[in-house]
Amino acid sequence: MTSQNPLAFVKNLFRIIAAGPEVPPPLKGNPLLRTILNRRSVRKFSRESIPDTVLQAVLEAGRLAPSAVNFQTWSFFVFTPRSWRAAFGRPLPCSGVRAIMVMADLHRGRKALSVIPPRPLVEYTLGVTNAAMAAMSMNMAAEALGVASVMLTETGRSGYLDAKYLKERLSLPNGVFPLLTLVLGYPRSGPPVLPPKLPLHHICHTGKYRDRGPKVMNDWLAQMSAGFKADHPLSSFDAQLRLYLSKIDRVEQELQDLIFYGRGEDAERRTPDDAHRRKSSNSS
């Protein structure tokens, strides 16, 4: 993606500003729908604290979230700015006033569910899927109670991109995978604009999958670049992507190690296939 000409830049900015939720008028007043559609990631918070009762309700929304087989394969680490600093030696990202780090937790159920054979990728996928449900439930509960948030995985070493580091810092047992941090607070300024979302007719399919070619993603990329430039004149969306890409080889290796080759209890649960795969990858 190269930089776009000024006319295309302005055009793309207008498209971002003009876009908004599209729902049939009679449904627009529905309060839950409004909460869902108006949620935005907020990255700057005021110093106003969140009442404990509100935080409690947010966590309760996570506890009661849906999960496959009702396994509830998640754990939540709750932080204040002070406890975040104590754990990681730096400030809570985005000057959030509370944070909830969401983990996929396959460890807790292992003893009770030892009849289930070890299948690392299935377990990991199950854990991630379930924990994502809990994260989104907490996100929406926060919104409903007037608390804004952002989910982080990269910013501030807050999620799966730094799973190995977080496991060490938080003494997580094998089978517990840090995924993301929900940073909470009251917004410091007005709501951010809706970032470019793909049109419904491009993401919905009936019958067979229809590949619509690269145009829609190129269009998205052009809008993302324009929006990013408007927010960060000294940087670019390209540079942001490059930063992300510079980490993925390390992250891939660390996640493979954590998912397939955990030590101790996990090692006992490793399948013969896994042991074989590890041996071949070590010898290559």
Ligand X SMILES: Cc1cc2nc3c(=O)[nH]c(=O)nc-3n(C[C@H](O)[C@H](O)[C@H](O)COP(=O)(O)O)c2cc1C
Separation of CA 90 from chain center? 21
Shortest CB 252 distance to ligand X, Å:
17
Rg (CA), the chain: 21
Binding mask 18-47 for ligand X (x = CB under 6 A): ----------------------xx-x----
55 within 8 A of 98, measured Cβ to Cβ: yes
| Window of 22-30, 63-71, 150-158, 246-254 that interacts with ligand X by CB under 6 A | 150-158
- Taking CB under 6 A as the criterion, the residue among 138, 152, 163, 182 binding ligand X is 152
Binding mask 193-232 for ligand X (x = CB under 6 A): --x-------------------------------------
3-state secondary structure of 177: strand
Binding mask 177-196 for ligand X (x = CB under 6 A): ---x--------------x-
94 within 8 A of 148, measured Cβ to Cβ: no
Size of the site for ligand X (CB under 6 A): 11
The tokens for 60 are 């309760």
Can residue 240 be called a binding residue for ligand X (CB under 6 A)?
no
| Window of 11-19, 70-78, 148-156, 273-281 that interacts with ligand X by CB under 6 A | 148-156
Determine the Cα–Cα distance for residues 160 and 278; give it in Å rounded to an integer: 22
Determine the Cα–Cα distance for residues 173 and 74; give it in Å rounded to an integer: 13
- Taking CB under 6 A as the criterion, the residue among 154, 219, 238, 257 binding ligand X is 154
226 within 8 A of 187, measured Cβ to Cβ: no
Can residue 155 be called a binding residue for ligand X (CB under 6 A)?
yes
3-state SS of the chain: helix, strand, coil percent to 5? 50, 10, 35
Can residue 83 be called a binding residue for ligand X (CB under 6 A)?
no
The angle at the Cα of 18, spanning 16 to 23, to the nearest 5 degrees, equals 110
Of the two residues 237 and 269, which places its CB atom closer to ligand X in the complex?
Answer: 237
Binding site for ligand X (CB under 6 A): 40-41, 43, 150-155, 180, 195
